[in-house]
Amino acid sequence: MNPTRRHVLMAAGFFAASRAFANEQPSIRQGAAMQPSTVKPRHVLCFLGKDEGLLHPPEAVVKTIADFNFEIDRTYSQAKPDPHMERSFGVCWDRVFPKAWSEADEMAVFNHKAVLYVLSPPMEQQKTVAYSAAALRIVEEMIEAGATAVKGESAGVAHGLARWRQLARECKAAATTNQGLAVTAAMSRSCRLAFAKRPLAGDTYNESVGFHLVGLPDIYVARSRGSDRNAAKLMDEIADAMAGRGIEATLRDRKLTLSREQDYAEGDFKFNPYGIIRIGA
C-alpha cells in the first residue's frame, strides 16, 4: 500500500479495521447445492446536483475516489437532468428507518440538473466491508462538496442527506472505537443499512437486496410470517449475527441453509454470489 493511500485510510478510521477483515471476515460454507460464484460485487453510486459542477468534484474528493480505487463513470454521467430520477428515487427511498428522507430531499431530486456515477472496483468477499465503508466516505465528501441527492444503485436504495451523514458518522465511529470482529460487525451494520434495500415484497417472500455488498447472503422471509417491518427486523437480526459470529455458525445455530436460486442473473449488480437464505412459514 503506498503512503498516500495508507494516510487516507487512517484518516478515515478504516485502515486499522481493514487489516482484520482479510483474516476475520466470516466465510460461507459451500456445499453441493451451493457452489462458489466467481462474481465480485461492485458499488454503483448515483449523485445528483444542482448544476454541471457536480461532474467536476473538488480535487480532494477526486483524490479520495482514486485512493480507494473507485472511479468516476464518464459514460453515463451527464450535465443535464435525467427524467427517470424522480420515479427511481421514489421507489428506492428507505422505508424502514423513520424519516429516512424529507420533502427537501424529494425536491432536490425533482430539481436536479446533473447526474454523476461513481463505481467501486470488483470486491473480494473479505474486503467488502472495507470498500463499503470507503463508499460511505465518498458519499459524505460528495455531499459536503454540494451533491443534493444520493442513491446506491447496486441494490436500489436512497436516503436523505441527513441520513447518509448519520450512517457515515456511525461507520467511522465503529472503525475507531471497536477492535477485531467487533469492528467488522459494527461497520458491516452501518454499511448494510446504507447500501442494502429491504424488504422488497415478492409473491411469497419479503426479500433483501444488497447484503452481498458487505459479504453476506441475502435473506428472504416468508410473507406469511408477518408484516414488512417484522421481516426487516428478522433480516437485520440474522445479518447482525452472521457479521458478528460468522455465517456458518449462524446457519448451523438457526438450522438454515443457503441456496443459489435467485431471480437476478450473474451480470446484474443485484446478483448475490454468496447465496440466498430462505426462511419459510
Average pLDDT of span 207-213: 98
Region 108-129: mean pLDDT is 97
Q: Quote the pLDDT of residue 17.
A: 42
In 3D space, the residue among 123, 133, 256 whose CA is nearest the CA of residue 185 turns out to be 133
The lowest-confidence range among 31-35, 199-203, 211-215 is 31-35
Nine cell digits for residue 254: 438457526
The CA–CA distances, whole Å, from 261 to 24, 175, 201, 243, 276 equal 27, 34, 17, 22, 7
**Per DSSP, what are the bridge partners of residue 197?**
209
How many domains does the chain divide into? 1
Residue 176: per-residue pLDDT: 82
- Which grid cell is 137? 466516505
Task: Count the helices and strands in the chain (H runs, E runs).
Answer: 10, 10
Domain of residue 243: give its range: 3-279
Under the banding of pLDDT at 50, 70 and 90, the label for residue 180 is low
pTM of the model: 0.88
Buried b / exposed e over 57-81, threshold 16 CB at 10 Å, is beeebeebbebbebebeeeebbeeb
Burial class (CB in 10 A: 0-12, 13-18, 19+), 183: buried
What percent of the chain has pLDDT above 70? Answer: 85
What pLDDT, on a 0 to 100 scale, did the predictor assign at position 4? Answer: 34
pLDDT tens for 42-79 read 999 999 999 999 999 999 999 999 999 999 999 999 99
What is d(CA 142, CA 244) in angstroms, rounded to the nearest whole number? 30
Q: Which three cell numbers stand for residue 67?
A: 485512493
